[in-house]
Amino acid sequence: MTTYQFPQGFWWGSAASGLQTEGTIPGDGKGKNIWDHWYEIAPEKFFNGVGPEKTSQLYTKYKEDVQLMKETGHNSFRTSIQWSRLFPEGTGEINQQAVDFYNEYINELIANGIEPFINLYHFDMPMPLQEKGGWLDRGTVEAYVHYAKTCFQLFGDRVKHWFTHNEPIVPVEMGYLYQQHYPAEINLEHAVQVGFHEALSNALAVKAYREMGLDGEIGIILNLTPSYPRDENDPKDVKASVIADAFFNRSFLDPAVKGEFPKELIEICKELEILPDYQEEDLKTIKANTVDVLGVNYYQPRRVKAKETPIDHSNGPLPEDYFDYYDWPEKRINPYRGWEIYEKGIYDILINLRDNYGNIRCYISENGMGVEDEQRFLNAEGMIEDDYRIEFVTEHLKYVHQAIQEGANCLGYHMWTCMDNWSWLNAYKNRYGFISVDLAEDGKRTIKKSGHWFKTVSEANGFTVE
């Protein structure tokens, strides 16, 4: 038997986002964001035609949900404020109903011993700002900073862990390269500008937070996908992996933690003449306002090799001009999401942060496994027996534990997600939660086997396995 004991005060919990959980009810004053708009114009893109207004109804069920968090051993929980709920137009007039809702929700968490971690931007651009260009437009950066400051003012007395963005590379790649988020363009030049504005907005929000003298910490949440070369002894494969890493990880990790952009990326942008528009002052702002804490979302690695296929320039340059994806024959796949399961990746990330990023305070802010049709695993008592999820979390936690033993500054583990929630184009296809949500029964919640198991882990601050 081996016991994996975690440091005292370890954060056990889960993550979600406002848009994916709250839902919309008539008269709630929420404005439209890009998901509401996309669903209106292209509902067929969404799995089973389920749109973002029909999420897990947390807006009305949050009290019940907080109790369920307690029952599943949460000592902390992350969600995001919906920008379009607080500012229906993105800026300007504030929605008082949103202020009341977030106040009550945050207070409810705290009253139940659950530390609220609040993120500001989780893919939910208010539509009036998108109409002016969204992250392409510098005006959005200003509107974002106003939104951020308002949140700090309203909730900063009680919220001690703030995050500026969740996975800022995702709006870049999915909105401007791979067409999975609105506006679904393929345009590397736009992608670079969007990324720059997001990085700048992060630094400006960090600056604003510090200037307000609040007694919490502020960070950013990044999805780090370790880039493994096909052959680590082949310099061409290694170079391919370095470039993939610069595009997808270091593009935000380096400015957020070190205050500068990776030189490989700058060189490529110069060569392609797609450097973003910026002001000299911006680089100083980014340099001077790095984060206190880093959230790490880890789902899967990225495996690459030197470019072998011809470059296709029909849509202009792309990151894939510099590498090919490598199909590792030994990979294990979660067939529902199509993502590789590679537990050691979580260890490699934490060791990289220890060695190359000043061992910054960090925690695992998302990790999880989406599975389709979990009703197959219902037992006689009506509980989903998701042993595969327990195994998934256990195997990742073993590597988190090892990294901590070796000096990584990892402070917690949050699962994606608490209760089954709505996912971008996939809607309710894959379920990730510790708690199931029955859409046919008005969103009825039932704790899964993994939720009960997680409580034992949280209470023991670790677990014992054979």
Catalytic residue among 173, 340, 343, 366: 366
Choices 212-220, 261-269, 304-312, 418-426 (CB under 6 A): range interacting with ligand BGP: 418-426
CA torsion angle for 187, 193, 196, 198 (degrees, to 10)?
Answer: -80
Shortest distance, position 299 Cβ to ligand BGP, whole Å: 7
Q: Measure Cα distances from 243 to 171, 296, 311 in Å.
A: 19, 20, 16
Residues 6+ apart with CB under 8 A from 38: 45, 182
Helices (H), 134-262: 138-155, 169-176, 188-211, 235-245, 251-253
Per-residue interface string for the shown chain with ligand BGP, residues 372-401, x marking contact by CB under 6 A = ------------------------------
Q: Residue 236 corresponds to which amino acid?
A: K
For 444, the token pair is 């009825």
Write the interaction track for ligand BGP spanning residues 135-164; mark x where CB under 6 A is met and - where it is not.
------------------------------
- At its nearest, how many Å lie between ligand BGP and the CB of residue 69? 18
Which stretches does DSSP call E strand in 391-450?
410-416, 430-431, 435-438, 444-447
Judged by CB, which is closer to ligand BGP: 249, or 423?
423
Nearer to ligand BGP, 72 or 223 (CB): 223
Is the Cβ–Cβ distance between 107 and 158 less than 8 Å? yes
Figure out which of the listed residues 6, 10, 17, 326 binds ligand BGP, where binding follows CB under 6 A. 17
User: Do 224 and 165 form a contact (C-beta atoms < 8 A)?
Assistant: no
Type of residue at 379: N
Judged by CB under 6 A, the stretch of 30-38, 398-406, 416-424, 449-457 that binds ligand BGP is 416-424
Give the Cα separation of 179 and 287 in Å (integer): 31
Mark 345-374 with x for binding to ligand BGP (rule: CB under 6 A) and - for no binding. Answer: ---------------------x---x----
Q: CA of 336: how far to CAs of 299, 340, 341, 429, in Å?
A: 13, 11, 12, 9
The verdict on 38 binding ligand BGP (CB under 6 A) reads no
| Residue ranges in 212-327 assigned as alpha helix (H) | 235-245, 251-253, 263-272, 280-288
DSSP codes, 66-119: HHHHHHTT-SEEEEE--HHHH-TTSSSS--HHHHHHHHHHHHHHHHTT-EEEEE
3-class DSSP assignment, residue 11: strand
Could you give the string, one character per residue 62-101, with x where binding to ligand BGP holds by CB under 6 A and - elsewhere? Answer: ----------------------------------------
Stretch that binds ligand BGP, among 151-159, 202-210, 406-414, 424-432 (CB under 6 A): 424-432
What SS3 state is found at 148?
A: helix
Q: Give the residue at shortest CB distance from ligand BGP.
A: 423
| Cβ proximity to ligand BGP, 119 vs 289, nearer residue | 119
Backbone angles phi, psi at 198, to 5 degrees: -65, -45
Cβ 50 to ligand BGP shortest distance, Å: 13
Cα separation, 15 vs 436, in Å, equals 15
How many CB atoms within 10 Å of residue 358? 12
Nearer Cβ to ligand BGP (115/366): 366
With CB under 6 A as the contact rule, which of the stretches 31-39, 77-85, 343-351, 422-430 interacts with ligand BGP?
422-430
Q: Does 424 participate in binding ligand BGP (rule CB under 6 A)?
A: yes
Let me know if 366 is a catalytic residue.
yes
- Least distance in angstroms from the C-beta of 124 to ligand BGP: 10
Question: Closest approach of Cβ 221 to ligand BGP, in Å?
Answer: 8
The token pair at 295 is 């959230």
Residue 130 within binding range of ligand BGP, rule CB under 6 A:
no
The correct pick among 72, 187, 223, 290 for binding ligand BGP (CB under 6 A) is 223
| Nearest residue (CB) to ligand BGP, 337 versus 389 | 337
Indicate whether 430 belongs to the interface with ligand BGP (CB under 6 A). Answer: yes
Structure-block tokens of residue 380: 């006689």
C-beta of 123 vs 147, nearer to ligand BGP: 123
Q: Is 423 in the site for ligand BGP (CB under 6 A)?
A: yes
Amino acid code (one letter) for 69: M
Which residue from 119, 166, 251, 409 is in contact with ligand BGP, where contact means CB under 6 A?
166
426 binding ligand BGP? (CB under 6 A): yes
The verdict on 416 binding ligand BGP (CB under 6 A) reads: yes
The span from the CA of 180 to the CA of 174, in Å, is 5
167 binds ligand BGP (CB under 6 A): yes
Of the pair 19, 114, the CB lying nearest ligand BGP is at 19
The site for ligand BGP (CB under 6 A) is made up of: 17, 20, 166-167, 223, 297, 337, 366, 370, 416, 423-424, 426, 430
Q: Which residues are known to be catalytic?
A: 366
